[in-house]
Amino acid sequence: MRINSFFYTIGQGFKNLGRNKWYTLASIATIGACLFLFGLVFSIINNIQYFVHTAEEGVSVTVFFNEGVNEDQILAVKSDLEKRPEVREINYIDPEAAWEDFKKDYIGEYTDGFTENPLADSASLEIYLNDVSMQAALVTYIESLDVVRTVNRSEITADTLSGLNKLMAYVSMGIIVILLLVSIFLISNTVTMGIAVRKDEINIMKYIGATDFFVRAPFVVEGIIIGIIGSLIPLLILYYVYGSAIDYVHTQFAMLSNILPFLPVEQIYNELVPISMAIGIGIGFLGSFTTVRKHLHV
């Protein structure tokens, strides 16, 4: 292809946007509306998953040891447990440190009656998990160790969180798939109508001797530009809406901000921008490519 023909087809793609203003606006509005909904659902789901994840990170298992088990043995168990994939972090709670904390928190200055550390046998391991659904298996393993006296865990929290996590994964997949299907249907309809209106133009081009590529290229360029604009607009709106929503929740419900952490918009957009752009451009490209193909056999 000659270089000026290349620029001509690109130029025609841009000019087509102006020539078919209503079609362009309808397509951008459809893609924009679909991707706005997609972005909204994506942000909400990501935040819910983030809440769940944050809650999961707080779930710990505390392991207490039999009387007489010394620090070296406990540290050996610790390093053994650290090798397990479900374990994220283990803190060794020294009995002296535990007693100091206890005194500070509950007894204050009234410690004269204690000559010895009453928590001497309370050395423990505080285990945080990567995946709370693995808690039961880990606890069973730990309980089978000879040196272990007791294991404290919150079965209900762990089960609820892991169930919630699974449910969120299914629900989000379902919503996103439905949204994508609806978007593809709506957008391909818009593209089909827009191109059907220009069937004559395609026919003329074919009669004059245009190659399929030459006929298709301006439509595809047009589709891609519509895809880019159609994905950028909802991203910009959502950026503003998301920021405003977080500010609103933080100011109106200040107590919630400690309980419900929100993902920063930048973190959401790290994923949302490429996904939205890919969907917008992909649908613009495929929609125009396949619809023009129907009219090429003249």
Partner 1 sequence: MEKGFRKTKSGRQIPEGEVITLDHVTKSYSSGAPALNDVTLHIKKGEFVFIVGDSGSGKSTLIKLLLRELVPTNGEITVLGYNLNKIKHSKIPKFRRNLGIVFQDFRLLKDRNVYENVAFAQRIVQTSTREIKRNVPSILATVNLAGKYKSKINQLSGGEQQRVALARALINKPTILLADEPTGNLDPNNSWEIMKLMEKINESGTTVIVVTHNREIVNAMKKRVITMKKGVIIEDEEEGTYIDED
Would you tell me which residues interact with partner 1 (CB under 8 A)? 1-2, 4-5, 8, 19, 200-201, 203-212, 214, 297-298
Measured from the CB atom, is 113 or 209 closer to partner 1? 209
For tokens 């509950």, the residue is 106
The nearest distance, CB 220 to partner 1, in angstroms, is: 16
Beta strands in the chain (DSSP E): 60-65, 87-93, 124-129, 148-152
Measured from the CB atom, is 5 or 290 closer to partner 1? 5
The nearest distance, CB 286 to partner 1, in angstroms, is: 22
Question: What phi-psi label fits residue 294: left (phi over 0), alpha (psi between -120 and 50 degrees) or beta?
Answer: alpha
Measured from the CB atom, is 34 or 205 closer to partner 1? 205
Measured from the CB atom, is 210 or 237 closer to partner 1? 210
3-state secondary structure of 97: helix
The nearest distance, CB 205 to partner 1, in angstroms, is: 6
Strands 87-93 and 124-129: antiparallel
Could you say which DSSP state residue 145 is in?
Answer: S
Measured from the CB atom, is 5 or 152 closer to partner 1? 5
CB within 8 Å of 3: residues ≥ 6 apart: none
Q: Which residue in 282, 197, 189, 212 sits closest to 16, CA to CA?
A: 197
The nearest distance, CB 3 to partner 1, in angstroms, is: 10
The nearest distance, CB 195 to partner 1, in angstroms, is: 15
